[in-house]
Amino acid sequence: MLYYSLNKQSPTVDFKQATIAGQAPDKGLYFPATLPQLDKEFIEHIEQYSKEAIAFKVIKPYVGDSIPDEVLQGIVNETVNFDIPLVPITESISSLELFHGPTLAFKDIGARFMSRCLGHFLKGNHKKVTVLVATSGDTGGAVANGFYGVDGVEVVVLYPSGKVSAVQEAQITTLGKNIHALEVDGSFDDCQQMVKQAFTDTELTSQLFLTSANSINVARWLPQQFYYFFAYQQWKDKGHPPIISVPSGNFGNICAGILAHVSGLPVQHFIAACNANKVVPDYLLTQQYEPKPAVATISNAMDVGNPSNFVRVLEIFHQEFGSLKNVLSSYSITDAETKQAIKDVYQQHQYLLDPHGAVGYIALQRELAKHPGSKGMVLETAHPVKFNPAIMDILGENILAEKEAALLLDDHKQSIPMSNDYNSLKGILKEL
């Protein structure tokens, strides 16, 4: 499999080169030259396969010959070695729980896969690699956990000060060793912009071996397809595929789902569930794509005003707006609606949504109202314990206190405060 830059000004590369580079020299995101088509027999008999076998079959075409099959199978096995259950909430809505991994967030899948791929590629490489990543909440913890203690790799995580939860911050800032947390006086978009600038700084890249662990990296983005197939494996009514609602910020997650669908996974429709950051909902209404400064919400991991991966979504549909609209809808949900949904679902169905899942739940309700008799699922992207102060405020009780305390117990924050200034980042990177 070859990958081309969406800016069309860089040479094509293989999976190994795309993973190590992160971003193309022309600043574009890498995209697969061909989209694999899975055979119908595999889809029809998916219940007979293990999670490990499904994941290997899905990712193998993208990896090609870059990793030997036996090594790739081992990487896949370690990536998916935790439960990903599809849990009914109501008669028409189920929750795909993606928070049973080590950092309690869906990004464990991509981070674990990428860290192991990069570890394989760097064997025998004597030059230190710096993994540079911006996070709006969950990416940082997942990447830190995935790369913690990996020889020859330094991880630098930029996160917006005061805009991630206490548990998210603890997962980023308490590991130490080869994990370096930079607490930025700014927004996620500011963090992401500085990361992008670092990759295009020829002076810096001539001195440091930089790569990215955001979903701009194909090794982070592509394995997110796995759990869409796991969800379909557990879907009872195979004759009526689900409507899938995906809490969306940087759009890597839903882009992976759409890619799985284009490759043969049965899905009735996708919903990009957004909070007050509604660049994509507005685009689907007006056909005008206008990035805006991010707005802070209680579903903080989705506080993105310029989602990087939306260009990949457009590429899947060859920039054809009508084709995109046939597959994707998008809704913007307010904080007030999010809080009410958490309260209502807990009281009526004894199921606790986190703020991101609640955004997805409301969006799914709205879409199902347009399709009587249809059923769907929401991707629960993070454990509610990560947002315990907000949950406690909404429900009026601290039902998650014990688990949150265990996560934060004896943790010592290690972060470097920095201004929203690229030269500050550049100086820190040079000193590592």
Q: Is the pLDDT of residue 358 over 90?
A: yes
Q: Is the pLDDT of residue 327 over 90?
A: yes
Which amino acid, 177?
K
Taking the C-alpha atoms of residue 230 and residue 335, their distance in angstroms, rounded to an integer, is 30
pLDDT tens digits, 52-84: 999 999 999 999 999 999 999 999 999 999 999
For residue 182, what pLDDT is reported? 96
**For the domain with range 83-105+221-405, which CATH number is right: 3.40.50.1100, 2.60.15.10, 1.20.1250.20, 3.40.50.150?**
3.40.50.1100
Q: Is the pLDDT of residue 261 over 60?
A: yes
Conformational region of residue 417, where left means phi above 0, alpha means psi within -120 to 50, and beta covers everything else = beta
Provide the pLDDT confidence category of residue 370 given band limits of 50, 70 and 90: very high
Mean pLDDT across 245-272: 97
Q: What is the DSSP string of 310-342?
A: HHHHHHHTTT-HHHHHHHEEEEE--HHHHHHHH
> Do residues 137 and 300 touch, judged by C-beta distance below 8 A?
yes
Q: Is the pLDDT of residue 143 over 60?
A: yes
How many percent of the chain have pLDDT more than 90?
A: 74
Cα dihedral 98, 339, 313, 263, rounded to 10, equals: 40
Query: How many CA atoms are closer than 13 Å to the CA of 156, on its beta-carbon side?
Result: 27
Mean pLDDT across 201-210: 89
pLDDT tens digits, 76-130: 999 999 999 999 999 999 999 999 998 889 999 999 999 999 889 988 777 788 9
Least confident span in 125-134, 220-229, 423-432: 125-134
Q: Is the pLDDT of residue 165 over 60?
A: yes
Q: What is the mean pLDDT of the chain?
A: 92
pLDDT tens digits, 293-304: 999 999 988 999
Torsional sign, CA 96, 101, 107, 109? negative
> Do residues 133 and 140 touch, judged by C-beta distance below 8 A?
yes
> Strand pairing partners for 179?
155
Mean pLDDT across 316-332: 97
For residue 408, what pLDDT is reported? 53
Taking the C-alpha atoms of residue 246 and residue 388, their distance in angstroms, rounded to an integer, is 21
The closest alpha carbon to 406, from 235, 167, 213, belongs to 167
Least confident span in 68-82, 234-248, 272-286, 390-404: 390-404
Q: Is the pLDDT of residue 168 over 90?
A: no
The closest alpha carbon to 265, from 242, 247, 281, 288, belongs to 242
Q: CA angle at residue 55 from 72 to 175, to 5 degrees?
A: 70
Provide the pLDDT confidence category of residue 402 given band limits of 50, 70 and 90: low
For residue 330, what pLDDT is reported? 98
Both tokens of 111, joined, read: 């981070």
Taking the C-alpha atoms of residue 414 and residue 411, their distance in angstroms, rounded to an integer, is 9
For residue 242, what pLDDT is reported? 98
Mean pLDDT across 10-32: 94
Q: Is the pLDDT of residue 404 over 80?
A: no
